[in-house]
Amino acid sequence: MPIRPFSIVSAFVALLALAPAQAQQRIVVASTTSTQDSGLFAHILPLFKAKTGIEVRVVAQGSGQALETARRGEADVVFVHAKAEEEKFVADGHGVRRYPVMYNDFVLIGPNSDPAGIKGTSDVVQALKTIKAKAAPFMSRGDWSGTHIAELNLWRAAGIDIEKENGPWYKELGQGMGAALNADSAANAYMLSDRGTWISFKSRGELGIAVEGDERLFNQYAVILVNPLRHRRVNKALGQALIDWLVSAKGQTAIAGYKIKGEQLFFPNANMPGI
């Protein structure tokens, strides 16, 4: 049977009408290298897409860079771990509301030879003082990520202005968490890492956890919808759908279910206010 021209035209028009709807089912999330490098997104985002049909493209950067990306309106949602910067982002009108999602902790990684003699201790501030006093090699993310900001805060707590009091023993990398751990493994230096990326890290070499358990190493993650009144391209409905799923029982269960060799990497706490 011959195909009528109007049938072809009708089908083409139908495809054109469908294309924008499909394009709208995609959002951009500016997030951290730790959530990406740890494998969390690879675990939870397919579950979210299966539930909603929404595809999420992740731009993995340090938290400071991710917030800057969102300030330019180049993301729909920001998912980071730098509370003071997140609150300022919302207060300045760039974000709608900050939602706590999950936490883990930071750990101070170091060479198994432990030149600073701090392995097995739990006072991270005293450990940093010792590292500086002994000029033991230390590598910093140096990228204004949430981990880098946490590291700078810990140096301040130790009474050390690391920008003025560093030396050849202290090196800034300007790299994401996974790449930084690879560099640290090659250099056998101390470094602050989030526990999730450390657990997922395969090339540990001669590195191990030197210091853990200090309450100052608590690491909270939160998610924020970029303000659609400030940036017209922001997809408010789809971005909020992701946030609602992350803080829902199903989203929180998905986060808790991400484990490597039976070890849980992130702990949901969306129902805990004030964090």
> CB count, 10 Å around CB of 137?
20
Note the pLDDT tens digit of each residue in 128-183: 999 999 999 999 999 999 999 999 999 999 999 999 999 999 999 999 898 999 99
64 contacts: CB under 8 Å, gap ≥ 6: 82, 85, 143, 144, 145, 146, 148, 149
**Is the pLDDT score of 238 beyond 70?**
yes
pLDDT (average), residues 218-245:
97
What does pTM read for this prediction?
A: 0.87
Going by pLDDT thresholds of 50, 70 and 90, the confidence category of residue 273 is confident
pLDDT at 1: 45
What's at 267, amino acid-wise? F
pLDDT at 21: 40
pLDDT at 24: 55
Cross-strand partners of 99: 223
